[in-house]
Amino acid sequence: MSSVRARTALGATLVVALALVVAGVALLSVLRGNLVDQAGLQAEVSARSVASQVAGGTPFGGLDLPDDTEEHPVQVVDERGRVVAVGDDVEAISGTGSTGTKAVPGGGEAGTGEVSEDVDYSSGDVTVDGETAAYRFAAVKADGPQGEVTVYAGAPLAAEEATVSGVRDAMLAALPLLLLVVGGVTWLVTRRALRPVEGIRREMAAITASEDLTRRVPEPATRDEVARLARTTNETLAALEASVERQRRFVADASHELRSPIASLRTQLEVGAAHPELLDVPGAVADTVRLQQLAADLLLLARLDAGERPGRGRVDVAALVREEAAQRAGGRVPVRVDAGEAGVDGSRGQLARVLGNLLDNAQRHAESAVEVTVRREGRHVVLTVADDGAGVPEPERERIFERFVRLDDARSRDEGGAGLGLAIARDLVVRHGGTLTVRRAPSGGALFEVRLPAGG
């Protein structure tokens, strides 16, 4: 069955059927037991009546046995197993102390004239006037002048059998109808419960066909699993829409950023081809380097978007900082280092790229100095890069980490930047399990803080 409704209805029907069968068997067992106990009580009353006569000294031949032998057959057996009294018309008997149906003279040593409080129960068959039926027997011992005997009195089980049979037949007759009702109700309830799911499926199919990621699936007003599924689906669609939009912007921005150095380089080469004396070789080299760096940044972002994970190795952050600062000793703005010993687990090359991007950014915007610090704070290693430039306005402190975003000041002062350095730095830090934030430095400029989990 391909339908969830059909499978659910069938499963519910089978479970209910099994439960009803088990409950029915238990009910019939309890009912049968109660009816048998009632028959046993009736038999005990008859047995005690006869046992009282025996204990009172009534001779066996003179016992007042029940007149209706079919309802209450009685058999009295002495200590030697001989039948000393039996009901009229009893032709055969089983389940008592003896199968005998003829009374014989018997007796024993005179007793105390008492009737035992104990009762034993058994079941057997009795044939009266050619008809055999099942009976419940109660056995009561009596101690009289003629010795100790056991009185067996029976009560018919025909009513019990008829009652149990009637209840069983009624249950079997009602079972199919009840299962039909259960299956139908389950089908309808499941259909109603799955109606929102079908709405979600239709909307998702329409979204797939139209490729319109702005559409959303309907969310039920309930708080059940279906409503949570709809909300999660819409959240996924929103994330997918944002991802696709970022990709479109990325492609558009990348095309725009690549167009400028390529056009400049082409112009210079065309001028150089027509007028070699006018060829600006340093400018052509600068445009080529800028184009190379931009292509490398785009390739790195593509790898990161594809899910590339950083390698795992021990990285001495303090040594990495000192190496990067040493390479920039002759830069426009000096780099001061205050680095304590601290290590993290990750990719040395990627962390060097993070530090390099932050230092490039700081040196471009600093007035006179850049300061780098490394310290250990609990389970984290904190790396800060601060400059004494104009700083980053608070409303822009998150936007600068977006791809191809450059503030107006950056655009005027940094003609070669494409707005990818800080985006790459944050992406790499996040993939190392850390955070990258910016705030105001004590000197008034920008302070970028990298917080990474300390290595083991």
Q: What is the pLDDT of residues 84-110, one digit of tens each?
A: 888 888 888 888 878 877 877 766 556
Name the residue ranges covered by the structural domains of the chain. Answer: 10-163, 225-304, 309-453
* pLDDT recorded at residue 108: 59
When pLDDT is averaged across residues 315-339 and rounded to a whole number, the result is 85
Minimum mean pLDDT range among 128-137, 284-293, 312-321: 284-293
| Residue 38: count of CB within 10 angstroms of its CB | 14
Query: Which among 326, 333, 450, 329 is positioned nearest to 388, based on CA atoms?
Result: 333
* Integer Cα distance of 157 and 178 in angstroms: 31
Q: Which CATH number fits domain 309-453: 3.40.50.1220, 3.30.565.10, 3.30.1490.20, 3.20.20.140?
A: 3.30.565.10
* pLDDT recorded at residue 182: 87
Residue whose pair of structure tokens reads 């004239």 in the numeric block? 113
Read off the amino acid at residue 7: R
* Token pair recorded at residue 300: 């790195």
Which residues, in sequence order, are CB contacts of 190 under 8 Å at separation 6+? 4, 5, 8, 9
pLDDT band of residue 339 (cuts 50, 70, 90) is confident
Helices 348-365 + 421-431 axis angle, to 10: 150
Q: Is the pLDDT of residue 400 over 80?
A: yes
Quote the Cα angle for 302-307-309, to 5°: 110
Minimum mean pLDDT range among 5-14, 258-267, 317-326, 419-428: 258-267
When pLDDT is averaged across residues 258-264 and rounded to a whole number, the result is 76
When pLDDT is averaged across residues 386-394 and rounded to a whole number, the result is 88
Q: Is the pLDDT of residue 409 over 50?
A: no
Cα 161 versus chain centre, distance: 50
Q: Is the pLDDT of residue 241 over 70?
A: yes
* pLDDT recorded at residue 121: 92
The model carries a pTM of 0.50
Q: Is the pLDDT of residue 371 over 50?
A: yes
Q: Can you name the CATH fold of 225-304?
A: Helix Hairpins (1.10.287)
Task: Kindly report the length of the chain.
Answer: 456
pLDDT band of residue 292 (cuts 50, 70, 90) is confident
pLDDT band of residue 416 (cuts 50, 70, 90) is very low
